[in-house]
């Protein structure tokens, strides 16, 4: 196997919660709290979790929109964890991002042509003629007519705007694309168009994706491997088929059971997970899932479980599994 494209090791992103007259940090929001994973070239890692679990923060650390407060990020062998902006710039061609709401991530005052040309100008690639040709190519790749270049973002529907966002992300032939909830604002019939497009682009350009979403069915559909996040930590990771068929962590099991199945013959008498996700500012002691866990035991509130292998590539952080394993 080739070397991983992205190696994330014990990554931490603690945001200070400032209060009082001198805005001293009274506490820390442990949005990402010790996360490790790899992504290989051309591979999709899906990252699933509920709101506030830190999945978007993690994506923003990897694109270095945030500078992590601990741990390391290696991209193509280089340590980019604390790298300065000037040295980071050439690498930004290789790591791109697709956002949830394309309307907010596209400049409303620029034409689509200008928006798609900008990455080439920033990175000083090609002359004007070449750039215009490349914009037309990009529009074609994402399934938009060439005349879109002269229009403005508001003239497009949500699905078309997401196609523009995707065209911008792939403009510089990146190696890794962070997709942060790329289809959650779209209608189902449009969502499937975008998911098919992302899978096609991956095959054509050997893109690696970090696919972040709250919808496990969507994530499982596009991912080779899936990691489940809860309160800033990965609680389980496995190949996507394994995760769905042999989910081991109680949280993953509850998450799967909670998804409404589009089949009236399979109305589940499900075990509904009680309570809410606790605050990452003051996470529970021990296993952070124990207050909601239907199977919690005394040790779960005392010590924190570590991510341990159940099988080759299947890891879970749960005391009950470690003991039975």
Partner 1 sequence: MALLEVDQLITEFATDEGLVRAVDGVSFEVEAGATLGIVGESGCGKSVTALSMMRLLPQPMGRIAGGSITFQGTDLTRLDIPAMEKVRGRRIGMVFQEPMTALNPVHTIGRQLTEGMLLHKVCEPANALRAAADMLDRVGIPSPDLRLGEYPHQLSGGMRQRVVIAMALACEPDLLIADEPTTALDVTIQAQILELIADLQRRMGMAVIMITHDLGVIAETCEQVVVMYAGKVAEQGSVFDIFDRPAHPYTRGLLASIPRLETPAKSRLGVIEGMVPGLRDLPIGCRFENRCEHAIDRCREQVPAPELLAAGHTVSCLRWQAL
CB of 209 to partner 1, least distance (A): 11
CA 121, distance to chain mean position in Å, is: 27
- Contact status: 253 vs partner 1 (CB under 8 A): no
- Contact status: 105 vs partner 1 (CB under 8 A): no
**Alpha-carbon span 192 to 91, nearest angstrom:** 31
The binding track of 200-239 with respect to partner 1, each residue x by CB under 8 A or -, is --------------xxxxx-xxxxx---------------
- Contact status: 283 vs partner 1 (CB under 8 A): no
Closest Cα to residue 48, out of 40, 312, 37? 37
CB nearer to partner 1: give 29 or 81. 29
- With contacts defined by CB under 8 A, name the span among 91-99, 109-117, 121-129, 260-268 that binds partner 1: 260-268
- Contact status: 193 vs partner 1 (CB under 8 A): yes
CB nearer to partner 1: give 11 or 139. 139
Size of interface with partner 1, in residues (CB under 8 A): 49
CB nearer to partner 1: give 196 or 206. 196
CB of 217 to partner 1, least distance (A): 5
The residues that touch partner 1, with contacts defined as CB under 8 A, are 50-51, 157, 159-160, 187-193, 195-196, 199, 214-218, 220-224, 240-241, 244, 254-268, 270, 272-274, 276-277
């Amino acid at each position: 196997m080739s070397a991983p494209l992205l190696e994330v090791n014990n990554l931490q992103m603690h945001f200070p919660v400032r209060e009082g007259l001198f805005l001293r940090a009274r506490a820390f929001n442990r949005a990402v709290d010790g996360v490790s994973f790899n992504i290989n070239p051309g591979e999709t890692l899906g990252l699933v979790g509920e709101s506030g679990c830190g999945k978007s923060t993690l994506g923003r650390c990897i694109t270095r929109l945030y500078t992590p407060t601990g741990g390391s990020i290696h991209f193509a062998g280089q340590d980019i964890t604390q790298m300065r902006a000037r040295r980071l710039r050439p690498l930004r061609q290789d790591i791109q991002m697709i956002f949830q709401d394309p309307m907010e991530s596209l400049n409303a005052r620029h034409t689509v042509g200008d928006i798609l040309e900008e990455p080439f100008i920033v990175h000083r690639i090609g002359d004007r003629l070449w750039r215009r040709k490349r914009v037309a190519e990009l529009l074609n790749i994402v399934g938009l007519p060439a005349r879109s270049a002269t229009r403005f973002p508001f003239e497009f529907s949500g699905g078309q705007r997401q196609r523009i966002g995707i065209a911008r992300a792939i403009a510089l032939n990146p190696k890794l694309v962070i997709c942060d909830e790329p289809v959650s604002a779209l209608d189902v019939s449009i969502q499937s168009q975008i998911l098919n497009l992302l899978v096609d682009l991956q095959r054509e350009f050997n893109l690696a994706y970090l696919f972040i979403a709250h919808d496990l069915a969507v994530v499982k559909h596009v991912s080779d491997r899936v990691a489940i996040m809860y309160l800033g930590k990965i609680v389980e990771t496995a190949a996507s088929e394994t995760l769905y068929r042999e989910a081991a962590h109680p949280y993953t099991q509850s998450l799967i059971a909670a998804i409404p199945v589009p089949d009236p013959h399979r109305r589940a008498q499900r075990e509904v997970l009680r309570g809410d996700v606790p605050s990452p500012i003051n996470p529970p002691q021990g296993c952070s899932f124990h207050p909601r866990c239907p199977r919690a035991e005394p040790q779960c509130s005392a010590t924190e479980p570590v991510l341990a292998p159940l099988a080759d590539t299947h890891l879970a952080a749960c005391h009950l599994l470690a003991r039975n394993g």
